[in-house]
Amino acid sequence: MATMQDVATLAQVSLSTVSYALSGARPVSAATKARIEAAMAELGFRPNALARGLASRRSHTLALTFPAMETGIGGTVAEFVRSAAESARRHGYHLVLWPFGPHEADEIRDLAQQGMADGVLLMEVCLDDARVDALHAAHVPFTMIGRTRDTSGLTFVDVDFDRTTEEAVDHLVRLGHRRIGFVNHSAASRDAGYAPTVRAEQGFRDAMARRDLVAHAVHSDESPGAGRAAMSALLNAEPGLTAVVTMNEMATFGATVELQARGLRIPDDVSVLSIVTSPGVGAMSNPVLTTMHAPGAELGSAAVEALLGLLLGATPPDAPVLLPCRLEPGASTAPARDRT
């Protein structure tokens, strides 16, 4: 595939001259422009969206930061990304993924200031997030998918973790469960202030406390093996456990394996409720998991709409977008049995 440098070499001009000819940012003589156009035609070069947008100083590109690229994009996150991309496309924008985490704030800011994106969608938000401070100071439009500790003057959409954990505990308590555990994301994410880890655990503990129940919560790395170890720790702490709430897709698979390896039947002996996930992920388990479906599609669209509103100078909405997960019945929850 031909590049701008190939065009510059064939037309015997500098790379910057090709850029000026494409963007109109500076005058280029008719003869030079003709040579550049002839070189483009010969090489089959087509200017990309960034080059076409330079004249208006708009790339018509939105950047979505997703730092956990080494773990891949699971089904739940894929729903969000797909929805955000479709929403951006409806408005004439491209969506690109930037694999930068909270510790790479300068890289995100610099790329945005260089015109690589008109605005940024921040995922994997921490309670205290350097990316937010850097983009805010640089006057780069951005919307958070998640929220920092202090959201004053910031635009965000997020899962309503308080309501989600309340409804998860309520579902299990209505089935007669009183000894309920929680498998969360990793301790490292908690220590880094990863907002979902912190908010979900607090929501779970509050929901249990309101019912005068003891909350047993453990953290797990994002792997089936770690999930087995986390489930083992829960059972050792509370041998009479009859239900577990999980918020860690990969660890959930390991947790169910550990239960079955101990001869505990799901849901006859222990109910499993996976939250902030999707029925598609739940269907990969045996039995099919009861889930609380993360509102990925709704949040993806809402995040793009909010960001485009900022780009157009619209006034941010008074009320933030907070959406709970909705219960999707499966075969992994059932009335409690006394295991003491």
Query: Do 109 and 188 share a domain, yes or no?
Result: no
Which residue intervals of the chain are DSSP H helices? 4-11, 15-23, 30-43, 49-53, 75-90, 105-113, 130-137, 161-174, 187-191, 195-209, 224-237, 249-261, 279-282, 296-311
Tokens coding 159: 């899962």
Whether the predicted pLDDT of 56 surpasses 50: no
Neighbours of 23 (CB within 10 A): 18
Amino acid at 264: L
With contact defined as beta carbons under 8 Å apart, do 140 and 306 qualify?
Answer: no
Whether the predicted pLDDT of 5 surpasses 50: yes
Query: Do 144 and 173 share a domain, yes or no?
Result: no
Pairwise pLDDT comparison (67 vs 171), residue with the higher score: 171
Least confident of 30-44, 201-215, 247-261: 30-44
Q: What is the mean pLDDT of residues 205-230?
A: 97
**1: exposed, middle or buried (Cβ count in 10 Å: 0-12, 13-18, 19+):** exposed
Query: Do 155 and 302 share a domain, yes or no?
Result: yes
Give the 3-state secondary structure of residue 146. coil
Q: Is residue 99 part of a domain?
A: yes
Q: Is residue 329 part of a domain?
A: no
pLDDT score recorded for residue 50: 44
Query: Do 169 and 126 share a domain, yes or no?
Result: no
pTM to 2 decimal places: 0.79
Domain tally for the chain? 3
Residue 181: CATH number of its domain: 3.40.50.2300
Query: Do 224 and 188 share a domain, yes or no?
Result: yes
16, 32, 55 — which closes off a domain? 55
Query: Do 165 and 248 share a domain, yes or no?
Result: yes
Q: Is residue 330 part of a domain?
A: no
Is the C-alpha dihedral spanning 309, 310, 316, 321 positive or negative?
Answer: positive
| pLDDT tier for residue 240 given thresholds of 50, 70 and 90 | very high
| Per-residue pLDDT tens digits for 262-309 | 999 999 999 999 999 988 888 988 899 999 999 988 999 999 989 988
Residue 128's domain comprises 61-159+296-323
Query: Do 112 and 202 share a domain, yes or no?
Result: no
Whether the predicted pLDDT of 261 surpasses 50: yes
Query: Do 170 and 145 share a domain, yes or no?
Result: no
